[in-house]
Amino acid sequence: MIRVAVVGAKGRMGASVVQAVNDADDMQLSHTIDHGQDPAQINSDNTDVAVEFTVPSASLSNVLTLIAQGVDVVVGTTGWDEDKLEQVRQALANAPRADQSVFIAPNFAISAVLADHFAAQAAKYFESVEVVELHHPDKIDAPSGTAIHTAQAIAASRREAGFGPMPDGTVTDGGSRGQVVDGVHVHAVRLRGLNAHEEILLGNAGEQLVIRADSFDRGSFMQGVLLAVRKLRDGGYPGLNVGLDTFLDL
Amino acid sequence: MIRVAVVGAKGRMGASVVQAVNDADDMQLSHTIDHGQDPAQINSDNTDVAVEFTVPSASLSNVLTLIAQGVDVVVGTTGWDEDKLEQVRQALANAPRADQSVFIAPNFAISAVLADHFAAQAAKYFESVEVVELHHPDKIDAPSGTAIHTAQAIAASRREAGFGPMPDGTVTDGGSRGQVVDGVHVHAVRLRGLNAHEEILLGNAGEQLVIRADSFDRGSFMQGVLLAVRKLRDGGYPGLNVGLDTFLDL
Amino acid sequence: MIRVAVVGAKGRMGASVVQAVNDADDMQLSHTIDHGQDPAQINSDNTDVAVEFTVPSASLSNVLTLIAQGVDVVVGTTGWDEDKLEQVRQALANAPRADQSVFIAPNFAISAVLADHFAAQAAKYFESVEVVELHHPDKIDAPSGTAIHTAQAIAASRREAGFGPMPDGTVTDGGSRGQVVDGVHVHAVRLRGLNAHEEILLGNAGEQLVIRADSFDRGSFMQGVLLAVRKLRDGGYPGLNVGLDTFLDL
Amino acid sequence: MIRVAVVGAKGRMGASVVQAVNDADDMQLSHTIDHGQDPAQINSDNTDVAVEFTVPSASLSNVLTLIAQGVDVVVGTTGWDEDKLEQVRQALANAPRADQSVFIAPNFAISAVLADHFAAQAAKYFESVEVVELHHPDKIDAPSGTAIHTAQAIAASRREAGFGPMPDGTVTDGGSRGQVVDGVHVHAVRLRGLNAHEEILLGNAGEQLVIRADSFDRGSFMQGVLLAVRKLRDGGYPGLNVGLDTFLDL
């Protein structure tokens, strides 16, 4: 059994992690820590892997504490910049255990990470590629960070394959062609009832390839969180690792 | 057997009509007329319905000639304005037969006409509605005239239902949210391999309705053309009729 | 303000109704009744419309009580047969108020009801029609009752339009062509992550129309429940009414 | 310029290849050979790569002739079995040039080959996977050979990942759940207007990944044919190569 601690256990994501750990046959909860509780209760004697899902203002401090306690950490909190990442790297260099790991992911939905990866691979073989992302209407930014990342990955693949600009005979447009990210048109739909969805369309004469990732609810992150927990427990990822594709055999 | 004449028989659309008439069990070709040939060869003795698919500069003259010959006309040529339509109405008022018909349609694809109609009906029951149209990259205008028409029909339905603006919390956007037509966001994708496609997405809390029309090639217009020929032959549509929904029992 | 009572308020559906009523600007909760509590607390002095979401074994008794109390009733519980419906009709014939209403719906998701309706209308104009329903893998029956209903409505439309069998050159098949319901092929997909979805595909030469309804969660029923409550309050539906399309202006 | 000969130049596929070669900036036609003409006109002095699209009864003989002439061959004709492939291997072992190549592909649509490949990769990370293939109604076999291949590749990935059977609580079914290929449910839709399409649906709690390949017409094979011609000309593929993924950098 993998002993898992959850930091931020009463937050929306943290509570989902607690439930996912309880539901997993190969895991058991060691600690649940929330606001006002000391994460230093977690240590390498009572816990194998800690999952940290709090807020950007608290996350770095929590992670540094957990590193000092000799515990591997899976981090789902957002808001990491290079300065913060460097502090994590230095802490890991001085960690109690030689092969200690921290894993940070901007997106734990396996479908989204695979869609992004496949889109970049496929982009080398299609004349046209566009990205449509669809989210609930309360989202503040458009397009999503994920869609921008996908568009940039597509653009990089096209450059590598020696493609020039995509065919586009549009002469008259009042804005319907969307935002151009690194040469790739990105469209954002906002619709009540949706959660987070991304569709990549790739076209050649006579054929189309469509890759679509649907995240219907928070549960979509849990497979990725559990995968990360298992991989850190199995070992082989010393130091700081970023991005769920670290663990995908592609 | 319905005797059908085709005017513009060597054009791309006209040639498809010739083939569709030949393939139809209940029709036979009476005349095929092209550039340099006189449409006045067609008359009420040899033809029941003429199908006119030429160019905007020739179409009005052809239609007036056919009206004078006592023939019902199905018109697929584009470029009609109110002045031209009025000339057709006056010619019909003085036509040889009392119940003579002219039918003009901007779009003969039944799937597109139905999608437009259903979207307007459904729009009364959903908090959010957006339109995505997808075409081949050689198309000059964006969004398509069909998508603009659909958006306007959706907006009219929402007003009738007493809806205010759709929910949209977007704060930061670089153009990905598309063109706003009468309050409805419209997105245009251009992709090699596609022909003409429209998708209407409607959302409420917890649910989505998607209506999609795909026109894969010119063949998509032929069911609509044959339907119009049959309906004019059956009678009951004296005068000028515009739009394929005239014949759909909805 | 419409005064709404909820019977079965602690059940999964009932609890969602309680929340939806609390969230609606034009409604207020009058009573919440659950197992062991007497629905006769609800009467025409304190309540305009009662929503009944319990279990088949309790529903008829609850509805008869509410009718006797002079209250209009929206019923979401399943399991109604002709014998039970007849008891409701007789109770309504002797109800305290002359124009008293009971409304029963097998499906409150507006998207599903519209998809079914549109599919039947469109089926008169397409050579081929097939139905694909997709659900979570814990569903016991395949295909869904909704998909069977849609297939039957499509078949009825085709008969009315004079269509013969659909084109199908399949010679060799090991079962992949699905279940044939009244001449319409129905396919059932079971996939973890999905909830309840139905897609109707209609095809002619060169064109396709796709109508898809997605129910992502229980929230998908609430728009339909609130619509029914408002319609019963507005009046004009005396007696027993079945099916959400009663209230849709199509 | 790559000098390309086409054997079977008047067949439907061959004629498309002739046009695609004429349209390609880096290729020129050297010979077009059809029924009754001797493929031995093609040799290493006048041609770099021959494309063979004929019929199963003629293909082996053509390919052996072209090998003896010292020409690399791209073969699109179907109907190859191990005995025929072995004859090709032996001919190549005695070919005039040491690094001579023959390339045979069951499917030249890049979108279909990528969809198959991505589905197999992704299948290691999802609890549920099903395959839906959609074709025109004149297709004789159901499901398609491509769908069977995809299902088998998914099944192999799942075994490798240690997955047991997929979750499926279906108790009552009249055939709607499709054909089970190696544990994977495969559904076949037949619809007028469609050509050849495949959709793979993968689901976990809260998320879905959909991969869809659309082949709208014969043109969908041409990108794959031209890719193969260029790769054989560039060299590095001596001997017999089967399957378009040979040339895809995945």
- Chunked into runs of 10 residues, chain A (250 residues) has average pLDDT values of 97 95 97 94 97 96 98 95 97 95 95 98 97 97 96 98 96 96 98 98 97 95 96 95 92
Four-residue CA torsion sign, A165, A169, A175, A178: negative
Q: Cis omega (within 30 of 0) on the bond before C143?
A: yes
By C-alpha distance, the chain B residue nearest C112 is: B209
Query: Is beta strand C207-215 parallel, antiparallel or unpaired with respect to C196-204?
Result: antiparallel
Co-location of B96 and B120 in the same domain: no
Q: Which residue has the tokens 């596929």?
A: D13
Co-location of B234 and B151 in the same domain: no
Q: Residue C120 belongs to a domain with what CATH number?
A: 3.30.360.10
Beta bridge partners, D131, equal: D186, D200
- The DSSP result for A125-158, as a single string, is G-SEEEEEEEE-TT--EES-HHHHHHHHHHHHHH
Co-location of D150 and D182 in the same domain: yes
Residue B105 has pLDDT above 90, yes or no: yes
Question: What's the whole-number mean pLDDT along residues B128-157?
Answer: 97
The per-residue b/e assignment along B210-222, b for 16 or more CB within 10 angstroms, e otherwise, is bbbbbbbebbbbb
Percent of chain B beyond pLDDT 70? 100
Residue B222 has pLDDT above 90, yes or no: yes
Co-location of D99 and D223 in the same domain: yes
Co-location of D47 and D114 in the same domain: no
Q: Is D246 exposed, middle or buried (0-12, 13-18, 19+ CB in 10 A)?
A: middle
Which pLDDT band, with edges at 50, 70 and 90, does C249 fall under?
confident
What is the per-residue pLDDT across B53-98, written as a single tens digit (0 to 9) for each?
999 999 999 999 999 999 999 999 999 999 999 999 999 999 999 9
How far does the CA of residue D76 sit from the closest CA of chain B (Å)? 21
Q: Which residue has the tokens 């529903």?
A: C59
- Structural domain tally of chain A? 2
**Degrees (nearest 5) of the Cα angle D10, D12, D16?**
85
Which of A127, A179, A205 shows the shortest C-beta gap to B174? A179
| Token pair recorded at residue A201 | 């369309």
Beta bridge partners, C31, equal: C5
Which pLDDT band, with edges at 50, 70 and 90, does C174 fall under?
very high
Q: Which residue has the tokens 């396919």?
A: C187
Catalytic residue list of B? 135, 139
What is the per-residue pLDDT across D164-193, written as a single tens digit (0 to 9) for each?
999 999 999 999 999 999 999 999 999 999
How far does the CA of residue B84 sit from the closest CA of chain C (Å)? 30
Helix (H) or strand (E) holding C154: helix C145-161
Residues flagged as binding site of A for NAD(+): 8-13, 76-78, 105-108
Co-location of A17 and A85 in the same domain: yes
* The predicted structure's pLDDT at residue A250: 84
Percent of chain B beyond pLDDT 90? 97
Which pLDDT band, with edges at 50, 70 and 90, does C198 fall under?
very high
Q: Which of B75, B68, B124 is nearest to B241 (CA)?
A: B75
Q: Residue B70 belongs to a domain with what CATH number?
A: 3.40.50.720
Beta bridge partners, B180, equal: B185
Co-location of C21 and C88 in the same domain: yes
Query: Is beta strand C196-204 parallel, antiparallel or unpaired with respect to A141-142?
Result: unpaired
Co-location of B171 and B150 in the same domain: yes
* The predicted structure's pLDDT at residue D249: 87
Residue D220 has pLDDT above 90, yes or no: yes
The DSSP 8-state label assigned to residue A166 in this structure reads P
Residue B191 has pLDDT above 90, yes or no: yes
Co-location of D163 and D116 in the same domain: yes
Co-location of C11 and C56 in the same domain: yes
Q: Which among A84, A117, A135, A187 is annotated as catalytic?
A: A135
Distance CA A75, CA A83 (A): 16
Which of C140, C147, C170 shows the shortest C-beta gap to D169? C140
| Token pair recorded at residue B217 | 């090639």
- Most distant CA atoms of chain B, gap in Å: 67
Which pLDDT band, with edges at 50, 70 and 90, does D250 fall under?
confident
Which pLDDT band, with edges at 50, 70 and 90, does D161 fall under?
very high
Q: Which of A214, A168, B88 is nearest to C216 (CA)?
A: A214
Q: Cis omega (within 30 of 0) on the bond before B143?
A: yes
Distance CA A13, CA A242 (A): 19
What is the per-residue pLDDT across C47-90, written as a single tens digit (0 to 9) for each?
999 999 999 999 999 999 999 999 999 999 999 999 999 999 99
Helix (H) or strand (E) holding A32: strand A27-33
Which pLDDT band, with edges at 50, 70 and 90, does D207 fall under?
very high
Distance of CA C18 to the CA centre of its chain: 19
Give chains near D: 3+ CB pairs under 8 A.
Answer: A, B, C
By C-alpha distance, the chain B residue nearest D193 is: B216
- The DSSP result for B11-31, as a single string, is SHHHHHHHHHHHH-TTEEEEE
* The predicted structure's pLDDT at residue D19: 96
Q: Which of C84, C62, C82, C83 is nearest to C74 (CA)?
A: C62
Tell me the residue range of the domain where B121 lies.
110-216
Co-location of D198 and D224 in the same domain: no
Residue type for position B40: A
Q: Which residue has the tokens 């019977």?
A: C7
Beta bridge partners, D209, equal: A213, D202
Co-location of C85 and C168 in the same domain: no
By C-alpha distance, the chain A residue nearest C215 is: A193
* The predicted structure's pLDDT at residue C250: 84
Active-site residue flag, A31: no
Active-site residue flag, A139: yes
Q: Which residue has the tokens 């396709």?
A: C208
Catalytic residue list of D? 135, 139
What is the per-residue pLDDT across D119-139, written as a single tens digit (0 to 9) for each?
999 999 999 999 999 999 999
| Token pair recorded at residue A33 | 């820590």
* The predicted structure's pLDDT at residue D238: 96
| Token pair recorded at residue C86 | 């007849």
- Most distant CA atoms of chain D, gap in Å: 67
* The predicted structure's pLDDT at residue A165: 97
Q: Which of D54, D74, D42, D68 is nearest to D12 (CA)?
A: D54
Which pLDDT band, with edges at 50, 70 and 90, does B156 fall under?
very high
